[in-house]
């Protein structure tokens, strides 16, 4: 390989790349070296070269043997341009038959690398780069020489003659790609840009992407892959303004898809979204959310939120009947500038009102308005039916514009008692006094009724003031003849419904008696006493109604007595501490659910009772929250033996658990009258003056509005304590006390 020294510059590049570039391929030479494995590049030099840059991508692990990478031969010069690796990893460059040894290159590690060499003939200056980094340089190589045209390019073998003369010990083992040749010396920046992560190299003399490759032997080709960094798309259109009033923002986006990063390529630098301010030209409201915080029978409390930035110097809260039957009024004093809630007093119960809140700026001009329609609470009155008397109690808050001091019953001499501390007015009478009227329903049922009356007052100057009212109330009794008492006993007919009020939650509990075991029809209060035979089944259902969906109902105790008193004797236990102990009791599991329980039991009598034919049912029901692990409902049946053992060893508290969130209510239904063949005749007569069975705090009214009993939460608030303005013992919810005429009779 001797010849004239002509200095030429060559650049060799070996790169790592993982994304396929269109038109770029890589060549794979087999590990078994042979003279038959090579590639001819179907290209030649169009002109002689006086300067050049040669780059090649290489990947190989053969570091201990000679390997020829690129060989260019012309007639008489088999080493016109040659890049070959020596045993010691020294690279040998030949230009115009002149050679140069370079320092060893540590690139034989199985990864892609880029080697570039440059040369010019004016002074023979040369440079060697590895992965864009200058490794060595010098001058004096083939000064004045040229690389002549008309030669042959061979990859993977060294030519000792044009197109041949190969030596298997110099055959390449590995991968080659992107062999590019320029007719000038590339700058360091240009070579540095041709790193292992790029694929867009295009030589001016030999362009790898456009060169036809003639593979020989076992050489194969595949797409060359390199890492591809991402590029931004064009910006999209601006979005709409983020607000509908005032100043907001609008945005536009772009995506890193031009191209998208792939195979480890870098993401796009910069933001994918940019924002700018936008002005809608619309002033924002100052106020938002007129919310109802509390509704009483005579007041509404509302709150609101200040959302704007405009200053507020004062408010005006205006109210008016929602049906428009009255003019609007303003509360006085008006809410202060710094407050966000207010109460409207002096309203009618169970009535809808339109409320309008207006805010004013420092110039006393309105700068915000919000409105809402809300309803005051209904009135709950107490009706007590006792042994020989009846009474009605009404909250004073429900008697606005009423002459309370002069209220009376049908007999104007029977006046009212006003309790300012408790906030109630009470009217009470004996069943035979104060104009109390009696009606008879059949032979055994009696209804005693009266009215709470307030009249208008005519003043000396002729002015008529105050609101007239007429509120009927009544008690129903069932008459039964008692031989031992020597006369009739009057039993109050209980209400089938109880209402529990706890904070903002209301639970309505019912105990109903049904006509058959399919529980499709129930008995009304007018059907009592219900006549049954000893062979009949007594069917009763327990239920709770509430807007809450996480409740469950539990029947803790059900007993039966001959009267409406659950503590009377004798008594029969049907359900005891959650255990169904009567032999004949049956539960309809198909109809029963979390909020309703349906039972049937055989009819029975009380041999030792004053009247063994009468049967009343008394049940204690528990309402629990499903998510409460400590509720009584979760405890289920507690057998009597377990309770006795717990009492003896002092662990009763662990047996009888009752969560602070549980609610309990006692209810009574009946009576049933068990008929038999030898039933004694019951003498008819006037029940007034007879011995009357005691009724403790039980409502027995049948007005047009449903009678309810308000219970308090057990464990947290004892029964009868902390009365609020609608607390009662036995109550009747009423509305419309502002009407001139009230038709409350049944």
3-state secondary structure 485-527: CCEEEEEECCCCEEEEEECCEEEEEEEEEECCCCCCCECCHHH
Q: What percentage of residues in the chain have a pLDDT greater than 90?
A: 43
Q: Name the least confident of 357-361, 505-509, 668-672.
A: 505-509
Q: Kindly report, residue by residue over 682-710, the tens digit of the pLDDT.
A: 344 444 433 333 232 223 222 222 233 33
Express as a percent the part of the chain with pLDDT over 70: 78
Cα–Cα distances in angstroms (integers) from residue 729 to residues 82, 390, 399, 446, 696, in the given order: 113, 13, 19, 22, 10
14 neighbors 61 (Cβ within 8 angstroms): no
Euclidean distance between CA atoms 344 and 294, whole angstroms: 10
Q: Which stretch of 161-170, 267-276, 546-555, 583-592 has the lowest confidence by average pLDDT?
A: 546-555
Indicate whether 292 and 215 sit together in one domain: no
> Strand ranges (DSSP E) for 197-283?
213-216, 220-225, 247-253, 273-279
217 has a pLDDT exceeding 90: yes
Whole-angstrom Cα distance, residue 624 to residue 662? 5
215 within 8 A of 27, measured Cβ to Cβ: yes
End-to-end CA distance of the chain: 131
- The answer to whether position 219 is within a domain reads yes
Q: Are residues 307 and 214 in the same domain?
A: no
Residue of 490 and 211 predicted with greater confidence: 211
- Determine the pLDDT at residue 365: 87
Q: What's the average model confidence in pLDDT over 3-15?
A: 38
Picking from 35-44, 414-423, 476-485, which range would have the lowest pLDDT averaged per residue?
Answer: 476-485
> Does 331 map to a domain?
yes
Angstrom distance (rounded) from CA 655 to CA 637: 10
User: pTM for this one?
Assistant: 0.41
**38 part of a folded domain:** yes
Q: Is residue 249 part of a domain?
A: no
- pLDDT of 225: 78
Of residues 564 and 404, which shows the higher confidence score? Answer: 404
Shared domain check, 206 and 119 = yes
380 band by pLDDT with thresholds 50, 70 and 90: confident
Residues 6+ apart with CB under 8 A from 606: 561, 562, 570, 572, 612, 614, 615
DSSP letter, residue 206: B
Q: Is there a single domain that holds both residue 98 and residue 220?
A: yes
pLDDT per residue over 156-204, tens digit each?
A: 999 999 999 999 999 999 999 999 999 999 999 988 877 665 677 889 9
Task: For residue 502, name the pLDDT band (cuts at 50, 70, 90).
Answer: low
How big, in percent rounded to 5, are the helix, strand and coil portions of the chain? 5, 45, 50
Helix (H, G, I), strand (E, B) or coil at 678: coil
* Residue 190 sits in the same domain as residue 41: yes
Mean pLDDT (whole number) for 508-532: 87
In the structure, what pLDDT confidence band is assigned to residue 17 with cuts at 50, 70 and 90?
very low
Within a domain: 19: yes
Say whether pLDDT at 355 is over 50: yes
- Report, as an integer, the average pLDDT of 667-690: 56
- DSSP conformational letter for 380: E
Would residue 176 count as lying in a domain? yes
Same domain, 219 and 296: no
Phi, psi of 46 (to 5 degrees): -75, -25
List CB contacts of 599: < 8 A, sequence separation 6 or more.
539, 540, 541, 542, 555, 558, 574, 575, 585, 586, 587, 588
Q: In whole angstroms, give the CA distance from residue 345 to residue 268.
A: 65
pLDDT tens string 75-110:
889 999 999 998 888 888 899 999 988 888 889 999
* Number of other residues whose CB lies within 10 A of the CB of residue 390: 23
The answer to whether 556 and 632 are in contact (CB under 8 A) is: yes
Helical residues (DSSP H) of 161-250, grouped into ranges? 188-192
The reply to whether 205 falls in a domain is: yes
Q: How far apart (Å, rounded) are the C-alpha atoms in residues 114 and 87?
A: 20
pLDDT digits (tens, 9 = 90+) for 106-160: 899 998 899 999 999 999 999 999 988 999 999 999 999 999 999 999 999 999 9
Best CA proximity match to 597, nearest among 615, 616, 570, 574? 574
**What's the confidence (pLDDT) of residue 13?**
39
- pLDDT tens, residue by residue, 574-584: 999 999 999 99
Among 144-148, 509-513, 659-663, the least confident range: 659-663
The whole-angstrom separation of Cα 591 and Cα 598 is 7
Residues 189 and 323 occupy one common structural domain: no
The region of weakest confidence among 219-223, 512-516, 577-581, 644-648 is: 644-648
Domain of 337, CATH number, reads 2.60.40.10
Residue 391 · residue 427 · CB < 8 Å: yes
Which of 225, 251, 278 is the last residue before a domain boundary? 225
Q: Residues 118, 207: one domain? A: yes
Q: Are 539 and 516 in contact (CB under 8 A)?
A: yes
612 pLDDT tier (thresholds 50, 70, 90):
low
Tens of pLDDT along 293-331?
988 878 899 999 998 778 899 999 999 999 988 899 999
Given a contact cutoff of 8 angstroms between Cβ atoms, the answer to whether 429 and 391 are in contact is: yes
Instruction: Note the pLDDT tens digit of each residue in 330-348.
Output: 999 999 988 999 999 888 8
* Phi/psi of residue 640, nearest 5 degrees: -60, -40
> Torsion angle, CA of 156/162/167/170, rounded to 10 degrees?
-40
Same domain for 63 and 186, yes or no, is: yes
pLDDT at 480: 58
Q: d(Cα 77, Cα 127) in Å, to the nearest integer? A: 23
- Confidence at residue 350, expressed as pLDDT on a 0 to 100 scale: 83
Please enumerate in sequence order all residues whose Cβ is within 8 A of that of 507, keeping only pairs 6 or more positions apart, or say none: 499, 500, 544, 545, 546, 551, 623, 663
Nearest Cα to 116, choosing from 18, 47, 15? 15
Q: Are residues 62 and 184 in the same domain?
A: yes
In the chain, the number of structural domains is 2
- Do residues 740 and 468 touch, judged by C-beta distance below 8 A? yes
Mean pLDDT over 604-614 rounds to 70
3-state SS, one letter per residue, for 89-114: CEEEEEECCEEEEEEECCCCCCCCEE
What is the residue range of 97's domain?
10-225
**212 and 326 belong to one structural domain:** no
The answer on 221 and 291 residing in a single domain is no
Separation of CA 493 from chain center: 47
Last residue of a domain, one of 179, 196, 225: 225
Give pLDDT, residue 442.
67
Contacts of 600 (CB under 8 A, 6+ apart): 517, 537, 538, 539, 540, 585, 586, 588
738: left (phi over 0), alpha (psi -120 to 50) or beta: alpha
d(CA 404, CA 417): 9
Q: What are phi and psi of 630, to 5 degrees?
A: -100, 10
Of the pLDDT bands very low, low, confident and very high (cuts 50, 70, 90), residue 732 is very low
User: Is 208 in a helix, a strand, or coil?
Assistant: helix
What distances in angstroms separate CA 428 from CA 121, 262, 270, 537, 688, one per listed residue?
131, 92, 85, 40, 17
CATH number at residue 104: 2.60.120.200
Length of the chain: 746
pLDDT of 491 reads 58
* 484: DSSP letter: T
Tell me which of 225, 257, 275 is where a domain ends.
Answer: 225
Give the model's confidence band at 730: pLDDT under 50 very low, under 70 low, under 90 confident, else very high: very low
Mean local confidence (pLDDT), 512-520:
92
Q: In three state form, how does the secondary structure of 272-335 look?
A: CEEEEEEECCCCCCCEEEEEEEEECCCCEEEEEEECCCCCCCEEEEEEEECCCCCCCEECCCCC
Residues 443-459 as b/e (b if ≥16 CB within 10 A, e otherwise) read ebbbbbbbbbbbbeeee
d(CA 529, CA 669): 10
Average of per-residue pLDDT values in the chain: 80
Which pLDDT score is estimated for 647?
53
Out of 63-67, 454-458, 587-591, the most confident range is 587-591
Say if residues 194 and 215 touch (Cβ distance below 8 Å).
Answer: no
Q: Judge contact between 97 and 79, C-beta under 8 A.
A: yes
Q: Which helix (H) or strand (E) holds 643?
A: helix 640-649
Residue 28 lies in a domain: yes
Of residues 544 and 201, the one with the higher pLDDT is 544
Who has greater pLDDT, 725 or 254? 254
User: What's the mean pLDDT in 32-55?
Assistant: 93
Alpha carbons 475 and 447: distance in angstroms, whole number: 6
């Amino acid at each position: 390989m001797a010849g004239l020294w002509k200095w030429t510059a060559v650049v060799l590049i070996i790169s790592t790349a993982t994304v396929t570039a269109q038109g770029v391929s890589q060549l794979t030479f087999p590990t078994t070296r042979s003279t038959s494995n090579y590639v001819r590049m179907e290209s030649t030099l169009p002109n002689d070269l006086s300067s050049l840059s040669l780059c090649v991508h290489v990947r190989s692990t053969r570091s201990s043997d000679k390997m020829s990478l690129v060989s260019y031969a012309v007639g008489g010069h088999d080493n016109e341009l040659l890049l070959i690796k020596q045993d010691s990893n020294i690279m040998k460059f030949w230009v115009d038959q002149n050679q140069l040894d370079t320092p060893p290159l540590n690139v034989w590690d199985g990864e892609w690398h880029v080697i570039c060499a440059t040369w010019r003939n004016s002074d023979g200056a040369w440079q060697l780069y590895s992965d864009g980094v200058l490794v060595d340089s010098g001058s004096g190589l083939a000064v004045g020489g040229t690389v002549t045209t008309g030669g042959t390019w061979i990859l993977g073998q060294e030519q000792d003659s044009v197109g041949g003369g190969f030596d298997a010990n110099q055959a390449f083992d590995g991968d080659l790609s992107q062999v590019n040749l320029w007719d000038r010396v590339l700058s360091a920046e240009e070579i540095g840009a041709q790193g292992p992560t790029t694929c867009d190299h295009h030589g001016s003399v030999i362009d790898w992407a456009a060169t036809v490759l003639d593979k020989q032997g076992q050489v194969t080709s595949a797409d060359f892959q390199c890492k591809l960094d991402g590029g931004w798309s064009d910006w999209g259109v601006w979005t709409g303004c983020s607000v509908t009033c005032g100043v907001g923002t609008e945005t536009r986006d772009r995506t890193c898809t031009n191209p998208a990063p792939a195979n480890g390529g870098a993401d796009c630098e910069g933001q994918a979204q940019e924002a700018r301010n936008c002005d809608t030209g619309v002033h924002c409201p100052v106020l938002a959310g007129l919310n109802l915080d509390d509704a009483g029978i005579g007041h509404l409390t509302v709150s609101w939120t200040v959302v704007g930035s405009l200053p507020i110097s004062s408010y005006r809260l205006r109210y008016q009947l929602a049906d428009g039957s009255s003019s609007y009024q303003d509360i006085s004093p008006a809410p202060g500038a710094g407050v966000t809630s207010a109460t409207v007093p002096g309203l009618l119960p169970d009535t809808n009102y339109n409320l309008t809140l207006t805010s004013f700026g420092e110039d006393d001009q309105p700068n915000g308005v919000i409105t809402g329609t809300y309803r005051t609470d209904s009135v709950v009155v107490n009706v007590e039916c006792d042994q020989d008397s009846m009474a009605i109690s009404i909250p004073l808050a429900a008697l606005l514009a009423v002459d309370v001091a002069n209220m009376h019953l049908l007999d104007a001499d029977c006046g009212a008692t006003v309790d300012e501390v408790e906030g109630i007015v009470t009217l009470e009478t004996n069943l035979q006094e104060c104009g109390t009227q009696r009606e008879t329903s059949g032979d055994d049922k009696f209804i005693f009724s009266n009215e709470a009356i307030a009249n208008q007052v005519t003043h000396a100057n002729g002015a008529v003031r105050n609101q007239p009212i007429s509120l009927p109330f009544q008690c129903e009794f069932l008459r039964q003849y008692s031989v031992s008492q020597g006369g009739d006993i009057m039993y109050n007919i209980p209400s089938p419904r109880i209402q529990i009020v706890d904070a903002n939650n209301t639970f309505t509990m019912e105990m109903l008696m049904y006509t058959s075991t399919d529980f499709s029809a129930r008995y009304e209060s007018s059907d009592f006493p219900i006549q049954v035979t000893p062979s009949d089944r007594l069917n009763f259902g327990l239920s709770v109604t509430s807007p809450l969906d996480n409740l469950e109902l539990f029947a803790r105790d059900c007993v039966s007595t001959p009267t409406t008193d659950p503590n009377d004797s004798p008594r029969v236990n049907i359900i005891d501490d959650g255990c169904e102990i009567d032999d004949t009791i049956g539960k309809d599991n198909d109809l029963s659910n979390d909020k309703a329980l349906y039972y049937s039991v055989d009819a029975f009598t009380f041999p030792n009772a004053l009247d063994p034919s009468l049967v009343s049912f008394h049940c204690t029901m528990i309402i629990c929250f499903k998510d409460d692990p400590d509720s009584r409902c979760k405890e289920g049946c507690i057998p009597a033996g377990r309770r006795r053992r717990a009492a003896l060893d002092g662990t009763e508290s662990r047996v009888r658990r009752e969560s602070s969130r549980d609610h309990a209510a006692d209810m009574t239904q009946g009576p049933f009258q068990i008929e038999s063949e030898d039933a004694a005749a019951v003498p008819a007569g006037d029940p007034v003056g007879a011995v009357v069975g005691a009724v403790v705090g039980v409502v027995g009214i049948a007005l047009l509005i449903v009678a309810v009993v308000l219970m308090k939460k057990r464990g947290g608030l004892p029964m009868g304590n902390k009365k609020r303005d609608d607390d009662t013992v036995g109550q009747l919810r009423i509305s419309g006390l502002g009407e001139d005429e009230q038709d409350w009779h049944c």
